[in-house]
Amino acid sequence: MKFYLEVWRQKGPESGGKLEHYEANNIPAEASFLEMLDIVNEDLTAKGIEPIQFDSDCREGICGNCSLTINGVPHGPGRGTTCQLYMRKFRDGQIITIEPFRADSFPVERDLVVNREAYDRIMQAGGFISERAGSAPDANSVPIPKVVADVAMDAAACIGCGACAAACPNGSAMLFVSAKVTHLGLLPQGKPENDRRVLSMVRQMDKEGFGNCSNYYACEAVCPAGIPASFIAGMNRAYSFASIKESVGIPL
């Protein structure tokens, strides 16, 4: 297969960037999108051209580092990460535009690589529980209803890739934050800190410059983990209750 690529090239965070044209020749249909870029980079290196910079790690749909916007869609067509996207999804001879994730809070480092440390700082603000370290307790010592455990596991599936913020017209990270708040807030170990957690994480999200949710549902449409936007409503309720408690002086 052969593809015509329009790839965003940018030398550094402070420099301007532009789309540059490349050809991807002799690409197997079973190759992943990142493997296609590997083949293109091998050809560029052989020609003495600087290879295209992009992030990847596990290449198994787990880490979310493979953050590319493909033809205007974070992670490309279909539901999944970029590394799980295969070239058979495209037509032979198709023009493919490849850009980094577009969100003000994800500055471009170089080419297709963005800095997503804003998500790390949100997690540091409250995405944890303060629990005694040591040997794990017996699994049956703290009963958790199956319906609660299932929803918590659904929320915990978020890999923090940033596709939600990149897809949102407002650059909102509320789907990511709500998944983390929901996951920890549903479990007995996380309930004691839930009010402080939701206040800290939402305020850090605002501090990082992410926008607010306007119910476009673009985040839900591109999320590789299928996180539902209904979690955002739950987070908003939790934030409102915690804010009221804080305003009247109730200890959190």
Q: What's residue 142's pLDDT?
A: 82
E strand map for the chain? 3-10, 17-24, 68-70, 73-74, 95-100, 108-110, 113-114
Q: What is the pTM of this model?
A: 0.93
Per-residue pLDDT of the chain (252 residues; tens, 9 = 90+): 999 999 999 999 999 999 999 999 999 999 999 999 999 999 999 999 999 999 999 999 999 999 999 999 999 998 899 999 999 999 999 999 999 999 999 999 999 999 999 999 999 999 998 877 777 777 678 889 999 999 999 999 999 999 999 999 999 999 999 999 999 999 998 999 999 999 999 999 999 999 999 999 999 999 999 999 999 999 999 999 999 999 999 988
CATH architecture for residues 3-110: Roll (3.10)
Domain boundaries, the chain: 3-110, 117-247
CATH architecture for residues 117-247: Orthogonal Bundle (1.10)
Burial zone of 83 (CB within 10 Å; 0-12 exposed, 13-18 middle, 19+ buried): buried
Domains 3-110 and 117-247 share a fold: no
